[in-house]
Amino acid sequence: MKKLIIEGCKEISGTIKINGAKNSVVALIPASILTKGKCTITNVPDISDVRILLEMMKELGSEIVFENDTIIIDNKNVSNKPISEHYASKIRASYYFMGSLIGAYHKAEIAYPGGCVIGSRPIDYHIAAFKKMGVHIEEKDSQYTLNVDNLKGCEFYLDFPSVGATINIMLSSVLAEGKTIIENAAKEPEIANVATFLNSMGARVFGAGTSTITIEGVSKLSDGFVETIPDRIEAGTYLIIGALIGNNLKIENVIKEHLLALLCKLKEAGIEYQSTVNSITISKSEKIKAVNVKTSVFPGFPTDLGQPMSALLTQCEGESLFEETIYENRLRHVPHLNSMGANIKAFDNKAIIKGRTPLHGRKVKATDLRAGASMVVAGLIAEGTTEVYNIEHLLRGYERIVDKLSEVGVNIKLIDDEK
Ligand code: UD1
């Protein structure tokens, strides 16, 4: 089992370069299945979710070269094979193979997707949309089997603007007959990134990034190219760290417009930053004011930054109300923060956080990916040594986190107990 050992620290400075977005690239890789041509994806983070997806692609017959942040995928020898539980259950994004295999081969066999246990995370919208496109779906022994003769475009209204369902419907419809319209589509930047990739292959996707996406089916896709957008959640996590212990900490390779909800909240709390076209420089503030934070879909405050932000709220003067609105199980990190000295009362997906409370190094657990990020934030501001266990979750989303933090002055070590 891997753990992180973090020494609390007063100040860090230097530059942290942000990688490509996990939540984009985990859709871009399966999207490549839609073409037999060559696909180039740049700015790819080397994280475990990517490595797992590449293994899945190789199982299907893809030839892959991953060098210098760039993946070149050649799918000329790909054939449609079942995706076993061994792979599918390791990551949430395995569900994107449903959309791309059904689009390319009109058939998919895939085990239930995995991912962080942050709520019930159903995929009923994905399933309902596929059915509306004419797909027959059987669910047996934790596995879906999808089949369709005539894949037909349809109009689909999402009851909730789900990121996964929006992307999966795009993937399944680019090669379908006729037009598909997704209403109340999710507007997260990762969706526009996937649409750019599909369009580079010859797809006709319009309106990605707005709440109505129209896809006009085409008969074939060719070679594709895309640059993965910067990871706004990784950037946001380091901005939160900079707001607590930064001294002109520069966060580089960011798109500021993707981070506005967080930046507005930091400003409201009294934290200063300066931005350029692709970087934000942030410094700690002696006094941070309490602010209320409510997660919501883009452009609202991202649910994936809620947990790291709650660690910052423990250092605000006064009482902050934190509210999670997307998932029902995103406060499992609260007992761990409290064990370090925080004063947080959690109830009904809300948390009242009273600050400012000094934090002390303890042994804590990363209960999920972003909970792990919140433990790192807490460990950095705590007095003494914090040991974070179960960090396999964390490593799924943050490339070279130990190196990146060490380079700006943090004393942090990754220990592999099994070695
Ligand atoms: C994606 C991200 C995740 C992020 C989330 C919200 C990936 C791989 N993961 O997850 O990091 O936290 O977006 O920004 O990109 N829902 C249904 N039925 C469905 C689909 C979703 O009820 O068929 C509900 C979910 O339970 C949840 C909400 O909709 O309450 C949002 O889910 P969704 O946007 O689909 O998140 P994911 O794609 O799973």
- Look up 116 and say whether it is catalytic: yes
Q: What is the pLDDT of residue 89?
A: 82
pLDDT at residue 216 above 80? Answer: yes
Q: Which of 46-60, 138-152, 190-204 has the highest mean pLDDT?
A: 190-204
List, in order, residues 6 or more apart from 138 with CB less than 8 Å away: 144, 145
Estimate to the nearest angstrom the gap between the alpha carbon of 368 and the chain centroid: 12
- Which has the minimum average pLDDT: 111-115, 179-183, 375-379, 398-402? 111-115
CA distance 341 to 351: 15
CA 366 to chain centre: 16
Q: Could you tell me if 380 and 8 are in contact, meaning their C-beta atoms sit under 8 angstroms apart?
A: yes
Q: What's the gap in Å between 164 CA and the centre of ligand 1?
A: 6
Predicted pLDDT at 115: 67
Domains 2-19+230-416 and 22-227 share a fold: yes
Q: Which residues line ligand 1 (CB under 6 A)?
A: 23, 26, 92-93, 119-126, 160, 162-165, 186, 303-304, 326-327
What pLDDT shows up at residue 85? Answer: 81
For position 119, what pLDDT does the model report?
62
Catalytic option among 39, 116, 154, 316:
116
Q: From CA 62, how far away is CA 32, in angstroms rounded? A: 10
Superfamily of domain 22-227: Enolpyruvate transferase domain (3.65.10.10)
Let me know: does 202 contact 220? Beta carbons within 8 Å. Answer: yes
Do strands 318-323 and 136-140 pair parallel, antiparallel, or not at all (unpaired)?
A: unpaired
- Predicted local confidence at residue 122, as pLDDT: 83
* Domain boundaries along the sequence of the chain: 2-19+230-416, 22-227
CA of 283 to the centre of ligand 1 (A): 33
Q: Considering only residues 368 and 186, tell me which one the structure prediction assigns the higher pLDDT.
A: 186
pLDDT per residue over 109-154, tens digit each? Answer: 998 887 666 566 789 999 999 999 999 999 888 889 999 999 999 9
Give the pLDDT of residue 118.
56
Q: How far is the CA of 353 from the centre of ligand 1 (A)?
A: 26
Return the C-alpha torsion angle 9, 241, 334, 415, nearest 10.
-60
Probe ligand 1: pick from 96, 121, 182, 296, max atoms within 8 Å of CB? 121
Q: What is the pLDDT of residue 152?
A: 97
Residue tagged 């707001």 (tokens) = 243
Give the pLDDT confidence of 79-116 residue by residue, as tens digits: 999 888 888 888 888 999 999 999 999 999 998 887 66
pLDDT band at 155 (very low <50, low <70, confident <90, very high): very high
In the predicted model, what is the mean pLDDT of residues 329-338? 94
**Tens of pLDDT, residues 259-299:** 999 999 999 999 999 999 999 999 999 899 999 999 999 99
Pick the CATH number of 2-19+230-416 from 3.40.50.620, 3.40.50.300, 3.65.10.10, 3.40.190.10: 3.65.10.10
- Ligand 1 centre from 239 Cα, in Å? 24
Question: At residue 117, what are phi and psi to the nearest 5 degrees?
Answer: -85, 80
| pTM of this structure | 0.95
How many C-alpha atoms does 140 have within 13 Å on its Cβ side? Answer: 5
Please write the tens of the pLDDT for every residue from 2-42: 999 999 988 999 999 999 999 999 999 999 999 999 999 99
Closest ligand 1 atom to residue 119 Cα is 26
With beta carbons less than 8 A apart as the criterion, state whether 364 and 388 touch: yes
Shortest-distance Cα residue to atom 33 of ligand 1: 162
- Please tell me the distance from the alpha carbon of residue 321 to that of residue 310, in angstroms, as a whole number: 9
CB 359 within 8 A of CB 352: no
Give the pLDDT score at 142.
83
The tokens describing 401, both together, are 């986190």
- Which ligand 1 atom sits closest to the C-alpha of 298? 14
Q: Cα(328)–Cα(117) distance, rounded to whole angstroms?
A: 10
Mean pLDDT of the region 382-386 = 97
Only one residue has tokens 């839609």, namely: 34
Amino acid found at 66: F
**C-alpha span between 404 and 16 (Å, rounded):** 6
- Percent over 70 (pLDDT), the chain: 98
pLDDT of 86: 83
Question: In the structure encoding, which two tokens stand for residue 51, read together?
Answer: 């490595």
- Mean pLDDT to the nearest integer, 372-394: 95
pLDDT over 70 at 245, yes or no: yes
Task: Read off the pLDDT of residues 222-243 as tens digits, 9 standing for 90 and up.
Answer: 999 999 999 999 999 999 999 9
Give me the percent of the chain exceeding a pLDDT of 90. 87
